[in-house]
Structure 1
Amino acid sequence: MQELIQQLQAKAGLTPEQAAQSIEVIKEYVKGKLPPFIAGTVDTWFANMSDKPGEKKESLADQASDFMDNVKDKAEDWKDKAEGWAEEAKDKITDFFKDKKQP
């Protein structure tokens, strides 16, 4: 997170407090644009950006890539669920009309 704060200070001329607040605003904005089942990933991604002593930090690009991989995985899970629900609905409708045709 400190790396991003430093970049905002250097590139946008923000104070450390303004940079930190900007990150919070961006985080909330991104969460608001995502479906609820993915929004939690934003919190996780930003939490992983925090400075933890003794841990090797991932670059922002690596973190963004990990975040997008996580979003992609969740989207694929929901796609699979939706396809399953659609198949079940189709089967129920087909069975319903088969029962109506047979006397």
Structure 2
Amino acid sequence: MQELIQQLQEKAGLTAEQAAQSIDVIKEYVKGKLPPFIAGTVDNWFAGMSGKTEEKGESLMDKAGDFLDNAKDTAEDWAEAAKHKVTDFFNKEKGKE
């Protein structure tokens, strides 16, 4: 996360404190736009960024791609579970006829 703070300082002219606050605002905004079952992934992704130096060859965009892949997998799992529940519900209703 330090790299992102540094970029915000250099490119947007923010202080370190302003940059850190900006990241918190962005994180909360993103979490608010996602379904609750994915919002926790945002916390995990940002937590993974904080306090770590970037691994060789792994850029912020790589990390963002990993986050999106994880969010997609979570959404697909949730959708599959919902599909099964709806199918079970209608199958039970059919049996009542």
TM over 0.5: yes
**Residue of structure 1 in register with 2:26 after alignment:** 26
Residue 55 of structure 2 aligns to which amino acid in structure 1?
K
- Tell me how far 1:35 sits from its aligned partner: 1.1
**Residue of structure 2 in register with 1:15 after alignment:** 15
Q: Quote the Cα distance in structure 2 between the aligned partners of 1:52 and 1:60.
A: 12
Gaps of 5+ in 2: none
Looking at both structures, which has the greater relative contact order when contacts are Cα pairs under 8 Å and sequence separation is at least 6? Answer: 2
TM-score between the two structures when normalised by the length of structure 1:
0.86
Identity between Structure 1 and Structure 2 (%): 68
- Over aligned residues, Cα RMSD in angstroms? 1.4
Q: Quote the Cα distance in structure 1 between the aligned partners of 2:75 and 2:46.
A: 20
- Tell me how far 1:36 sits from its aligned partner: 1.1
Residues 9-88 of structure 1 mapped to structure 2, 5 A cutoff? 9-52=9-52, 56=55, 58-88=58-88
The total of aligned residue pairs comes to 96
Higher Cα radius of gyration: 1
Gaps of 5+ in 1: 98-103
**Residue of structure 1 in register with 2:96 after alignment:** 96
Q: Quote the Cα distance in structure 1 between the aligned partners of 2:30 and 2:44.
A: 13
**Residue of structure 2 in register with 1:2 after alignment:** 2
TM-score between the two structures when normalised by the length of structure 2:
0.91
Segments of 4+ moved more than 4 angstroms: none
- Tell me how far 1:56 sits from its aligned partner: 2.1
